[in-house]
Amino acid sequence: MNKVWIGSGVVFILLIILDMIIHGVLLSPIYSTMEGMMRPQAEMKSWIIFVVDAVVAYFFTLIFSKGYENKGIAEGVRYGLYIGLMFGISMGYGSYASMPIPYSLALQWFLYTIAEFILCGIALSIVFKPKAAATA
């Protein structure tokens, strides 16, 4: 159970960093053209994002731990891809279906979400690697 907490912490930190890069840097030019659709920076409810990322990190890690097979980084990539597809399709195309966002934003949300969870899956495969295998 200790690895679940460690993994959750690692994934949480990764989610925060990757979200800052994706949304704060890469997508900010698109967001700046969407006045009225998004909260102004001063009105952002940032604490909610931290809570969401913490909950996602915990359950992402817990589910990984239940199916962990010690198959190395490929296992983390596969798991991250599956979860990334699940979240990405909802984030990108679910939003595109219900909000007047540009298609390019929907596609980027989809692709960045997949990449983000693949990186988190790789991190978990490293955290969960048995110590004996890590030193060999």
Torsion of CA 110, 14, 74, 112, to 10 degrees: 10
Give the distance between the most distant pair of CA atoms in the chain.
Answer: 56
Dist. CA 20–CA 62, nearest whole Å: 24
Residue 38 lies in a domain: no
Please give the tally of structural domains in the chain. Answer: 1
Instruction: Describe the chain by its helix, strand, coil percentages, rounded to 5.
Output: 80, 0, 20
Residue 61 lies in a domain: yes
Query: What's 41's DSSP letter?
Result: G
Dist. CA 6–CA 12, nearest whole Å: 10
Segment 49-106, tens digit of pLDDT: 999 999 999 999 999 999 999 999 999 999 999 999 999 999 999 999 999 999 999 9
pLDDT for position 136: 46
Residue 32 lies in a domain: no
